[in-house]
Amino acid sequence: MRNHRQWRIAISLLIPVALVAVPAAAQQPPAPAPAKPKPAPKPKPAAPATAAPAAKPAAVGGARPTLLGQYGDWGAYTALPGGKKVCFAIAKPSSAVTDPPGRPRNPVYMFISTRPAEKVTNEVSIIIGYPFKPGSEASVDVGSTSFALYTQQDGAWIKNSTEEAHMVDTMRGGQTAVVKGMSAKGTKTSDTYSLKGLSQALDRTAQDCK
């Protein structure tokens, strides 16, 4: 099994920035209609309206992720944490179910990263949004094919690294990936990811991180 601690520190800063990089208009409520001016002998001219600046992801240690393209449900990004180039495709689940229902979780997402400096290509990582039950395994099902995942804190990776390329190829040709796990408190989760656009996003990250 790989030691993901150092990479997790860097990606834990990059990923939230990528996830919140949405247009400002999507986050701003509509401006209220201006009230009618009260009559006055010499009303002052209204100040000219200024456009709100577009939302930009904050730089994290000089490693602000750059969007390479959005492909279906997957975004392709690149960044330079610590001066080392990283490319990754990322998506949020289209549905997330807990048993018992309604249990709170931190953000949940799957990302597939390529790190040329470490000679890592298309490493699948899943952040589940809670601490896994210690010693427990998780799984990801793509159609009728299931892959076992080992867990560490709130992250999961393929248990048998020799199957990772097969897993990625299966996901490229699949419709959905269903990730199942159990929290330290015994909550079971089932997260469904759409795989629409994944193949194109991975092609884009491969192009940028040759």
Question: Both tokens of residue 17?
Answer: 């920035």
* CATH number reported for the structural domain that contains residue 71 in this entry: 2.60.40.1880
* pLDDT score of 81: 84
* pLDDT score of 17: 57
Spatial separation of the C-alpha atoms in residues 59 and 62, rounded to whole Å: 5
Residue 58 lies in a domain: no
Considering its fold, how many domains does the chain have in total?
1
pTM of the model: 0.76
* pLDDT score of 14: 61
Mean pLDDT by 10 residues, the chain (210 residues): 50 58 34 45 45 37 79 94 90 96 94 93 95 96 96 94 96 97 96 97 95
* pLDDT score of 51: 37
Spatial separation of the C-alpha atoms in residues 131 and 151, rounded to whole Å: 9
Residue 53 lies in a domain: no
* pLDDT score of 64: 80
Q: How far is CA 3 from the centre of its chain?
A: 21
Residue 31 lies in a domain: no
Residue 113 lies in a domain: yes
Spatial separation of the C-alpha atoms in residues 113 and 14, rounded to whole Å: 12
Residue 135 lies in a domain: yes
Contacts of 5 (CB under 8 A, 6+ apart): none
Contact 160, 148 (CB under 8 A): yes
Residue 42 lies in a domain: no
For residue 195, the enclosing domain spans 63-208
Residue 56 lies in a domain: no
Spatial separation of the C-alpha atoms in residues 75 and 90, rounded to whole Å: 5
